[in-house]
Amino acid sequence: MLLGFCHYYHLSIVFTIFVVITIPNFRIMAKLQTGDKAPDFKGKNQNGNEVCLQDFKGKKLVLYFYPKDNTSGCTAEACSLRDSYSDFRSRGYEIVGVSPDSEKSHIGFIAKNSLPFTLIADTDKTIAAAYGVWGEKKMYGRAYMGIIRTTFVIDENGIIKDIIEKVDTKNHARQLFSN
């Protein structure tokens, strides 16, 4: 019994240390809703230049969060937005994608798919956490932390006008225009 207790106690310490070391210290925020002020953000784009929400003051912004460069769903979503980019621009929208991929990965993803918009490398997931899209996901019965695919439409004053949580990756541009 004592041996079992010691083994359990040892595992508890290891598990506690593992959890503390591997889970970043994110601020828990209430879920964002339409009408809320968009959280300010600051991150590096594919060229290493700093991009922040204030850069888009006076402009409408489609801020989309996606899990990973060069995956089928993320490529379909990016290409849907690319194919309608001129329509977005004619309606006064800028588009910015955010994922935890590196700047180097974004450069390759942009080149491979001829993407005309900026991608932010949120490698520390602080932007995703601020927008409430870093969370637990499940696939094939396995739970893990990742980006919850979500798009925010932000107006010229930094107010969230729409949130799309059930993204249709192949038809995302059409989905945005229909809202």
Does the annotation mark 74 as catalytic? yes
What residue has token string 């899209």?
A: 133
**HSE-up of 106 (CA within 13 Å, CB side)?**
24
Q: Is 70 in contact with 108 (CB distance < 8 Å)?
A: yes
Burial state string for 101-131 with b = 16 or more CB within 10 A and e = fewer than 16: bebebbbebbeeeebebbbbbbeebbbbbbb
**HSE-up of 129 (CA within 13 Å, CB side)?**
14
Q: Which residues are catalytic?
A: 74
